[in-house]
């Protein structure tokens, strides 16, 4: 396996495929870099070098007790891209990975980033408040934390239904995709995944979005039951100075898999612009 050791001694697993201009992927919760397999294979066969890592506490990376927070995730990503000497890359983040990409690009991106893509991403902030009335109530995230502690195995399996829109009428349910999600989730650390709930729900990425200076594509499904578009994608595109929004009609949160052909095509087009 490809791994590197961060400055605090954490081993981070990563994939590095192909040659050419670089595209870097950051995965969602509670998944791993495997969630990007379709996009990575597609772009690598179209002449790009694709890189994706398992966030600490997730997948095959070390299960640290401390450091399961967005600032440390971003520091790990920065060290990885320094280690690989990546230049002028396109950074793509899904869900929680969108928060990671936004914070990295805003604070540490130059000269390693040329463009950014936020897919079903959590920014600017998910939790409901007086200033974010379209957000999700805190009680929902407290329930997620409790479910992770009590029986995360069953919770991750159940979560696949709204995640992929499999609870919608006439949805074509793939048991293989559900099991892959479950497996990726169970590979990770219960401590890291528990801590990470705060990072995707209650961390405010508003200022990060405002500081992004590279061309940015925001992609969101209008039937996202996990990160609703009104509180996320539509608000993000208003905050990033040079951003455009592409809405996938009827798409769920897990659109990198359910709408893989559309996403692969749109990523390639945006990268080539």
What are the φ and ψ backbone dihedral angles of 93, each rounded to 5 degrees? -125, 135
Can you tell me the distance from the alpha carbon of 190 to that of 65, in angstroms, rounded to the nearest whole number? 10
Q: For 42, which DSSP code?
A: H
Q: Is 94 a catalytic residue?
A: no
Active site residue 53: no
* Catalytic hit among 95, 120, 201, 236: 95
- Residues facing residue 221 across a β-bridge: 248
| C-alpha dist (Å) from residue 224 to 113, 120, 152, 154, 193 | 28, 8, 22, 21, 21
Instruction: Given the residues 54, 62, 195, 224, select the one marked as catalytic.
Output: 224
CB count within 10 Å of CB 204 equals: 16
How far apart are alpha carbons 37 and 42 in whole angstroms? Answer: 8
Any idea what the Cα angle at residue 139 is, between residues 145 and 245, rounded to 5°? 90
Q: Do 100 and 73 contact (CB within 8 A), yes or no? A: yes
**CA angle 251–109–12, rounded 5-degree value:** 75
Within 10 angstroms of residue 133's Cβ, the number of other Cβ atoms is 8
Q: For residues 191 and 90, what is the distance between their CA atoms, to the nearest angstrom?
A: 30
Active site residue 253: yes
What residues are annotated to the active site?
Answer: 95, 224, 253
């Amino acid at each position: 396996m490809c791994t590197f050791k961060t400055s605090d001694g954490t081993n981070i697993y990563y994939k590095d495929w192909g040659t050419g201009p670089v595209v870097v992927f950051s995965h969602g919760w509670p998944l791993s870099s495997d969630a990007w397999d379709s996009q990575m294979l597609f772009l690598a066969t179209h002449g790009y070098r694709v890189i994706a890592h398992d966030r600490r506490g997730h997948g095959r990376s070390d299960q640290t007790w401390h450091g399961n927070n967005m600032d440390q995730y971003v520091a790990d990503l920065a060290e990885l891209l320094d280690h690989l000497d990546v230049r002028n890359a396109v950074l793509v983040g899904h869900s929680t990975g969108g928060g990671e990409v936004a914070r990295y690009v805003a604070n540490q991106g130059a000269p390693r980033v040329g463009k950014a893509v936020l897919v079903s991403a959590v920014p600017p902030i998910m939790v409901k408040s007086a200033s974010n009335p379209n957000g999700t109530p805190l009680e929902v995230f407290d329930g997620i934390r409790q479910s992770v502690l009590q029986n995360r195995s069953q919770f991750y399996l159940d979560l696949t239904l709204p995640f992929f829109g499999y609870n919608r009428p006439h949805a074509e349910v793939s048991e293989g995709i559900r099991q892959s999600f479950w497996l990726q989730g169970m590979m990770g650390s219960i401590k890291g995944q528990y801590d990470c709930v705060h990072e995707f729900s209650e961390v405010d990425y508003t200022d990060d979005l405002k500081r992004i200076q590279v061309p940015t594509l925001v992609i969101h499904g209008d039937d996202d039951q996990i990160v609703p578009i009104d509180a996320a994608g539509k608000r993000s595109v208003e905050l990033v100075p040079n951003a455009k929004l592409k809405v996938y009609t009827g798409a769920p949160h897990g659109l990198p898999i359910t709408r893989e052909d559309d996403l692969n095509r749109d990523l390639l087009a945006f990268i080539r612009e």
